[in-house]
Structure 1
Amino acid sequence: MALARSRRDRRIDYWPGFVDALSTLLLAIMFLLSVFVLAQFLLSREISGKDEVLNRLNSQINELTQLLALERGNNQDAQDELANLQASLGAVESEKSRLEQLLARGAGSDQAAQERIGALSGELENERQLSQRAMSQVELLNQQIAALRKQIAALEDALQVSEQRDRESNTKIADLGRRLNVALAQRVQELNRYRSDFFGRLREILSDRENIRIVGDRFVFQSEVLFPSGSDVINDAGRVEMKKLADALLELQKEIPPEINWVLRVDGHTDNRPLSGSGRYRDNWELSSARATSVVKFLIENGVPANRLVAAGFGEYQPLDGADTDDARAKNRRIELKLTER
């Protein structure tokens, strides 16, 4: 009898270690996936805002570039007009010079030549005025082109600054994601360590009974240990076991750092036999929820903070054994305790 019990002890000691390692790995993967999704969400929001700024700056640069091209075209037209005016002015001056030379050689009495010179002088003055206006227009266009170039240069500088900030923001987001991954991994490791300590203490303080065992990352009480059939009132033997549990929780609370937001989740489960509906509870949902709530209230009465406890009822829909036998149904009637983060 002692040998059988010793073998059973060794089997229980190996199995929790394996299950703890597996649950740690699964929790770490889940946290890392959550962090990845969060980092991607933050990065997409940051990049979306930067893209809007860059698009707006690029649009402004395109508009100014088009204006610059238009002004350059106008400038070229004005310069062409100025060249034409200067050519006309040169021709008029040449004609005037030729007529003056004719007059100087003795043709001064020619009234027609003098009238021609007067007309040419008038044309020459008009051409000079037109040339002066064209030169003023060219100067104004050059000033406008210079101003546009300054605006384009300022926008290009702003675009470079925005791109640099975008790169810095992406670097900060990546660094934040790495640090968050490390922090979450540390939290998972710490909580798993305290969970292992907690289960170890429960194994020590609760007697080696077949109806109290560890399944995965949960501590399982068979319902018969705590409740009469169809009732949510904890019996005397169950109150003794739950008092041990409350004491263990109060000791563990002193050791867990305050930044770890832990809770003990109490899950109620029933078998698949439907209730008659004529009693206090209409179905297994209500019975499982009431039993979980009774355990939580008992722990609160014995000093466990209410904000560290969660009650949940699962009815018959999360069985440990899916067989339609009395043994399977007895195994499925249970209260599960799980130490986890809120």
Structure 2
Amino acid sequence: MKLRSWIVATSLVFGSGCLMRTSTHESAMAKAKTAHDEKVADLDKQIADLTKMRDALQTEIDAQTTLLADLKGRLERLGQNVDSLTKDNAEAAARLEELRKQKAAADARLATFKSLLSKLQSMIDSKQLKVVIRDGRMIIALPNDILFDSGKTSVKKEGKDALEKVAQVLATVADRDFLVAGHTDNVPIKTGQFPSNWELSAARAVEVVRFLVSKGMDGKVLAAAGFAEFDPVVANDNDGNRAQNRRIEIVLQPNIGDLPNLDELTK
């Protein structure tokens, strides 16, 4: 009888332990899924915003196409030579061509963004980096905690592993230049090597550029700049926010062809 009671009690203890471990594992999995879903939702929103911008350009192209056809129809009804366009017609045609170029550039940016997201997704999920759109530019942001120790410029092993993967992806992006930007929080530094955060942020950016080149990127498409504490993404009012502001950003620069024509700007 005593033996049977001991066996029952032991079974209950082990069974309870298994249930607790299962519950803890399920809770961790649920939290991880929620975090992943939030990241996916954020990236989907950025893609949706770019798609909306492209669709708006298409709508304007359609409107200009309709206007151009209407002007041609009026000229035909008036018995004038269609090839001899009026000033309004010429301006509409020029505007239509400019809109087509803008839409083509928007389509190219969207395709590049989607491609980069796909290639960097595993690093985004592991929180090694973020990919965002800010001021119309695509930015890969890496936290300083992964790359550097406090007040240092030597890239840590974890940072080198992350940058090597980034270099492999960026090397596949054709006809684009990249700006590597160093950012700090607002905590001042004053050493013989770094009199201020300007020097520290610039030195870190240069160190990242050198590493990217050592991993196969063309130095001709890379530039480095330091912004010190003067371009924060959030207010420097607590430790968590200051950690967000300490970062390296790799900015995908616009093509010259994406910029407005100088003649258009001077009209």
Same fold (TM over 0.5): yes
What's the offset of the Cα at 1:271? 0.3
Distance 1:190 1:328 in 2: 34
Q: Given the alignment of the two structures, is residue 243 of structure 1 paired with residue 164 of structure 2, yes or no?
A: yes
| Structure 1 residue corresponding to 2:177, chosen from 251, 258, 263 | 263
Unmatched tracts of structure 1, length 5 or more: 31-164
Match of 1:65 in 2: none
Match of 2:46 in 1: 19
| Paired residues of 1:28 and 1:188 also in contact (CA < 8 A) | no
Residue type of the partner of 2:162?
Answer: E
| Paired residues of 1:267 and 1:337 also in contact (CA < 8 A) | yes
Distance 1:219 1:170 in 2: 44
What's the offset of the Cα at 1:226? 0.8
What's the offset of the Cα at 1:207? 6.6
* Corresponding residue pairs, total: 200
Percent identity at matched positions? 26
TM-score by length of 2: 0.65
Match of 2:30 in 1: 3
| Structure 1 residue corresponding to 2:130, chosen from 213, 217, 221 | 213
The equivalences for 1:38-57 within 5 A come to none
| Paired residues of 2:181 and 2:205 also in contact (CA < 8 A) | yes
Name the CA shift for 1:274/1:199 in 2 (closer, same or farther; >3 Å).
Answer: same
Match of 2:223 in 1: 310
Instruction: Report the structure, 1 or 2, having the larger helix content.
Output: 1
Q: Given the alignment of the two structures, is residue 222 of structure 1 paired with residue 249 of structure 2, yes or no?
A: no
Distance 1:338 1:200 in 2: 17
TM-score by length of 1: 0.52
Name the CA shift for 1:263/1:195 in 2 (closer, same or farther; >3 Å).
Answer: farther
Distance 2:140 2:116 in 1: 10
Name the CA shift for 1:339/1:272 in 2 (closer, same or farther; >3 Å).
Answer: same
Distance 2:55 2:198 in 1: 32
Match of 1:288 in 2: 201
| Paired residues of 1:219 and 1:337 also in contact (CA < 8 A) | yes
Task: For residues 83-142 of structure 1, give each alpha carbon's deviation from its aligned partner in whole angstroms, at most 9, with x where no partner exists.
Answer: xxxxxxxxxxxxxxxxxxxxxxxxxxxxxxxxxxxxxxxxxxxxxxxxxxxxxxxxxxxx
Task: For residues 168-218 of structure 1, give each alpha carbon's deviation from its aligned partner in whole angstroms, at most 9, with x where no partner exists.
Answer: 5664454233112202211121122112211221122x2733453334442
Distance 2:169 2:155 in 1: 19
Match of 1:298 in 2: 211
Name the CA shift for 1:24/1:283 in 2 (closer, same or farther; >3 Å).
Answer: farther
Residue type of the partner of 2:205?
Answer: A
Residue type of the partner of 2:101?
Answer: A
| Paired residues of 1:195 and 1:339 also in contact (CA < 8 A) | no
What's the offset of the Cα at 1:330? 0.9
Distance 2:227 2:125 in 1: 27
The equivalences for 1:321-332 within 5 A come to 321-332=234-245
Name the CA shift for 1:177/1:313 in 2 (closer, same or farther; >3 Å).
Answer: same
What's the offset of the Cα at 1:272? 0.3
Name the CA shift for 1:25/1:300 in 2 (closer, same or farther; >3 Å).
Answer: farther
Distance 1:335 1:203 in 2: 18
What's the offset of the Cα at 1:310? 3.0
Distance 2:53 2:208 in 1: 28
Match of 1:133 in 2: none
Name the CA shift for 1:180/1:228 in 2 (closer, same or farther; >3 Å).
Answer: same
| Paired residues of 1:191 and 1:340 also in contact (CA < 8 A) | no
